[in-house]
Amino acid sequence: MAKKIRKQKFYLLALIPFFAYLIIFKYYPMYGAIIAFKNFSFRKGILGSSWYGLHYFIMFFKSPDIWMVLRNTLAMSSLNIVLGAVFAILLAILISEIRTVWYKKIVQTISYLPHFISLIVVSGMAMALLASNGPVNTLIKGAGLQPVNFLGSVNMFWGLVTGLNIWQSVGWGSIIYIAAIVSIDPSMYESAILDGAGKFSQIKYITIPMIFPTIMILFIFSLGYILSAGFELQLFLQNPLNYTHAEVLDTYVFKYGLQKSMYSYAAAVGILKSIVGFGLVVIVNFVTRKFFKVGVF
């Protein structure tokens, strides 16, 4: 063992910054999670604050806003996960079917670019474009139709946020699917062509089944964030008119933790999010491993 360590010492040294990052920014902050079980006071500090047990967890379950917040969170998360995966897979298949190399690179680059735009900027763009006197409503009024209150309609908010999320992330999300499609043995397609299979039949019976394990693994990972519907879009596009459909757990925690200074309560809600996410990952991983022979661990 010592000989092996000496032989790989340079590789091990290169891992030090990575482990330092994990310890400082991922593991050490977990110490602060105990305030969820305490009546936290800045004057007394974390250790000096009195224990409150499960008081804040019970308080959350008794909150009159819990069902509204959970409904909005689960609805937007589900839409993002399902539609995000569908559009990413479709984009990956379309890009993989492009035969002109330079054109394929241009399409890929254009599809990736929105990923590098901050969601705060995306929110600002949406507010500017969809305002009552913005370009979109100007075109609608120019066509002789009534303007649409995009930002104030509760019925449009989930679709609006989902559309912005997909536009911003679909290109980046397609990268893994493109890599999975590229790894498929070309001889399978050649055999299918000889048997008279068309392009759609090739996609249905070869492409989709071959990338199915990748789809399931990414789906399992995404379920860990089922209670993280997003923050920036929901916070910046939220207003009194759409509040009942815009408030999610992340904005709820932000308001109670920072704006109302209820740090222990916000920490308790955050811990519940993590527990539910971890539980879902374990359960879905077990089910997919049992029935589809695909799993993460």
Instruction: Encode pLDDT of 7-36 as tens digits.
Output: 787 888 888 999 999 999 888 888 888 999
Q: What is the number of domains present in the chain?
A: 1
118-130: average pLDDT:
92
Checking if the pLDDT of 199 tops 90, the result is no
Domain membership of residue 49 (yes or no) is no
Residue 280 has pLDDT above 90, yes or no: no
- In three-state secondary structure terms, 270 is helix
Write phi, then psi, for 233 (nearest 5 degrees). -60, -45
Q: Is the pLDDT of residue 188 over 80?
A: yes
- Whether residue 128 is contained in a domain is answered as yes
Q: At what angle do helices 154-182 and 101-112 cross, to 10 degrees?
A: 140
Place 171 in a pLDDT band, splitting at 50, 70 and 90: very high
Structural domain contains residue 292: no
Residue 267 lies inside a defined structural domain of this protein: no
Query: Rounded CA gap, 170 and 177, in Å?
Result: 11
- Tally of helices (H runs) and strands (E runs) in the chain: 17, 2
Q: Which residue has the higher pLDDT, 69 or 42?
A: 69
Q: For residue 39, give both structure tokens.
A: 């009546």
Domain that holds residue 149: 67-261
Phi and psi angles of residue 39, each rounded to the nearest 5 degrees, phi first: -90, 80
Note the pLDDT tens digit of each residue in 135-170: 999 999 888 888 888 988 888 999 999 999 999 999
CATH number of the CATH domain containing 155? 1.10.3720.10
Q: Are 137 and 130 in contact, with CB atoms under 8 Å apart?
A: yes
Q: Which of 89, 54, 282, 45 is nearest to 181 (CA)?
A: 89
Parallel, antiparallel, or unpaired for β 50-51 and 38-39? antiparallel
Q: Is residue 118 part of a domain?
A: yes
